[in-house]
Structure 1
Amino acid sequence: MLLLSLESSCDETAAAVVKDGRTILSSVVASQIAVHAEYGGVVPEIASRQHLEAVSLVVEQALDKAGVAPSQLEGIAVTQGPGLAGALLVGISAAKGLSLGLGVPLVGVNHIEGHLLAVFLEQPVEFPFIALAVSGGHSHLYRVDGVGRYTTLGQTVDDAAGEAFDKVAKLIGLPYPGGVAIDRLAAEGDPKAIKFPRPLLHDGTFNFSFSGLKTAVLTHLQKHPEARGAGLNDLAASFQEAVCEVLTKKTAAAVAATGIKRLVVAGGVACNSGLRRSMRLFADKNGVELSIAKPALCADNAAMIAVPGDFYLQHGITSGFDLDALPVWPLDRLAARLGEVR
């Protein structure tokens, strides 16, 4: 199947043409980072307007780069949620128009599902596997038994890891997006310089908490104002080390509890060099088959939406033109759409 997919859940307007849910023919992303940087974070209303301006252009560019005419498309997949309601609606409206105009089926896809399956664009992964989805809005551990079959093992009880990165970056005066800036500073710092807490590390669950860690950074800055200067690299490295240790050890506990030796790490924070290194060390030491997509596929993109999109359309699972945005859409609810598909 030759599929056009769209993604507009937050601040990236993206379109991709993907063949058979595995081969990327084109992937175009229009970033809004420069627009939101002066506000220190994503402004939903501005994001929606930017999507409106960019969506037609990214679709046109995706088709041109793929060398595909609109008439050759066999289906449309679009992010339905979770995400910012206004932003989602821009992509959904565009997808509906394309579906209607071209006479091809349409399917709404869960954004997090796209992240979990993005690795299939690079290599196959055998089911079941454990997946860590970690981004600006999500820090979840899942058992993945197949496309559409997800069981939540643990999740954040407050801030997501990516949110914590951005908030701490703002505390220490770094530009948005904060995660990238902290990772860059951390490369030159000592991760053992400051002993920040590891929230919920030994609570016996697979849940995460990062709000207290952010507060610990604020407290340290109040006691040691000099840390904003020469000590900034050490602070960034120590904070990043704390986040990565919690994410890795919680994931390790889930792997041990389930006995599943296959692990996928996905989402924007999976671009972080410290997390990638920590997960590889854990996997190598414990004989775990680790899969992390390249950074471009970890960040928000439309190609990842085509992976589950292709599966659903191939199995006759489609969305009607009453398709609406779902700002909150837990992965556990997806099983109901599968019916008798096996």
Structure 2
Amino acid sequence: MKWIKGKFFGGRIIKTGIAVFITAWICHYFELPSIFAVITAIVTIEPTATDSFRKGLIRFPASAIGPAYSMTLTYLFGNVPISYGIAAVLTIFTCQKLKLEEGTLVATITAVAMIPITSSGYLASFFLRLMTTTIGLIVSTAINFLILPPDYTPVIMKKMDQLYEKSGEYLDKRVADMMNGRHSTVDPLFEQLTKDIEMTTKLLSYQKVDWKLHRHSKKEMKQYHYIQKRLLNLQQLIFHLGNIQFIHDIECNKENKEIILIASKYISNSLRDHCHAMDKAHIKSIDELDQLFWHHLSNECRDHHEQFHPDRILIYESFLFMTLFNS
């Protein structure tokens, strides 16, 4: 199963397929219409088992609201356009008022889909749709809980390695642009960095949420806290990369430029290295950047009107970036 998951499909795709198959099989076995049950099974599969269970409790009452409006309006007006419009509006409005937003989609789809296929037996149709929808909810929630419980740790670790590598690539590019006097616009690479860090943070939150339903060991908990700390550090690194995004008109002397260039090159190389190793030359270059930072800081105390000069911003951000990377 793991081989199939890794080679061809993601876990959520596999679970959706299994949930749809079992739901359709149950409906077929009991000679029930399966379309609404299958639709419900598809939309109920969530990234975590906890979300699937929680949202399933919301979607159950919502799934009764849509058919209720649908059958009432079909009884009053028949299969006419006004029935579709009013059914959709009332279903959405009621779900919002009752704070059942998570079930609005299922309820509205069911409401409008029932109108053209029901011409009599409205009360019986209502309970039949409610029954089949419930089957879809129960099956998909059970599948999400029992089969392939999500483990986001490998994906998160891989994402973080990619983020460190991209951060090193962006640091090289941005420092080279600044030293050569090239003005920067919004860089697609930096935009991708921010999107990736948001996605990785979301995956980590999914992992924690799912532990409410699945047992976890002390080792897994320690690994979670390690990843959380590393991810926070990475967020701060990317934040400081963003601070140098629009710096231009650098007027550092040749010696200071050389110090910044060498230090940034070593840092970017370490970011690309999965072990983040540092040799003696790397440490020496960082010490020189450290001295340059404190020299400018002491000058700032005597010369306040230059505290936002691009040279000093670059040195400060480089120093902070280096400090965060080595923490």
| Structure holding more helix per residue | 2
| Structure holding more strand per residue | 1
Structure of larger gyration radius:
2
Name which structure has the greater RCO, CA cutoff 8 Å, separation 6+.
1
Q: Please report the TM-score for the alignment, with normalisation by the length of structure 2.
A: 0.22
Q: Please report the TM-score for the alignment, with normalisation by the length of structure 1.
A: 0.21
